[in-house]
Amino acid sequence: MPGVVEIARFPSSEAYQKDPSIINPALELLTTIKGSHEIFHGLQVEDKKTLYLLVIWDRLEDHKNFINDPVAYPLLAKLLGPSVTAPAVLLHVPFTSDPLSPFRAPITEFVYASVNAELSATVDIKEVDARLQAVSDKRLGTKHGAALGRTIENDGLSVGTLGWDSVQEHIDWVTIDPEVVDIDIHFNLSTSMPAMPDRCISQQQRDRRDPIYDSPVHWL
C-alpha cells in the first residue's frame, strides 16, 4: 500500500487542455525522484479546466526532500510551466487502503468531507469517517474499489476516492443508496476543497487519460 498520496490541483493552460501530453517532460522527471511511484493526471470532468496531478510517494519525507532540492524542484516548475497557469494547491493523504484501483478506473471520484462549523461541537470527524468507511467498504469488493484517508495538512478533512465505469454509474448509485444519502442528511457535511489560487475550481485526470470525479467532481 502506498505511503502517502500527493494531490496537487492546478488551473490548467489552454495548451494542456488541447494536448495533455505537454506535461510528459515533467512526469518523466518525477519518475526519477527517490520515493515516487505511480503518477496520474487529468482534467476535472465538471469544469474541464482544473488539472489534477497525483503522485504516490513512499513517505511524506521523500516529497519534502524533493521540494528542498535546489536543482530538481525548480526544474519541475519549469517543465510544468506550459501546462499550468498558477501554483498548485497541495494535499497529502495516507489512505487506509490501497487507492490504486480507483485511480486506474475509467472514472475516479474524490469526496472531501469535513464537519460544518455549526456542527463541530456535537459531531466528531471520527464518526463521519466511520460512516464514510462503511460506504467505502461497499465499493471495496466491486470492480474499481475505494479508499479513505485524512489529509496530513488538516486532520479535520477526510478524503475518499472511488472508481467508476462512468459518471452516470456514480450518480445512479448515490441516488438509490440510502446510506449515502443518510450521511449527508445527518452530518450536513461540507465537501468543499481548499480554495484554488485566483479564480479557479477543483480537479484532474490521470496519466492514463481516464475521467475523474469529485463529489461532485470527477476526473478524466
Walk along the chain (220 residues) and give the pLDDT tens digit of each residue: 558 999 999 999 999 999 999 999 999 999 999 999 899 998 888 888 999 999 999 999 999 999 999 999 999 999 999 999 999 999 999 998 889 988 988 888 887 877 555 555 555 666 666 766 666 666 555 678 888 888 999 877 888 888 888 888 777 776 665 555 444 433 434 444 444 432 222 333 333 333 333 333 454 4
Instruction: State pTM to two decimals.
Output: 0.77
- Grid cell of 134 as nine digits: 462503511
DSSP 58: S
- Give the pLDDT of residue 31: 95
- Give the pLDDT of residue 74: 96
148 strand-pairing partners: 160
**Cα–Cα distance between 148 and 66 in angstroms, integer?**
26
- Give the pLDDT of residue 162: 82
- Give the pLDDT of residue 140: 53
Write the CATH number for 124: 3.30.70.100
- Give the pLDDT of residue 117: 54
- Give the pLDDT of residue 3: 86
- Give the pLDDT of residue 177: 59
Total count of domains within the chain:
1
- Give the pLDDT of residue 220: 46
- Give the pLDDT of residue 84: 97
Print the domain residue range for 167: 4-219
Interstrand relation of 189-190 and 107-115 (parallel, antiparallel or unpaired): antiparallel
For 159, phi then psi, to 5°, come to -125, 125
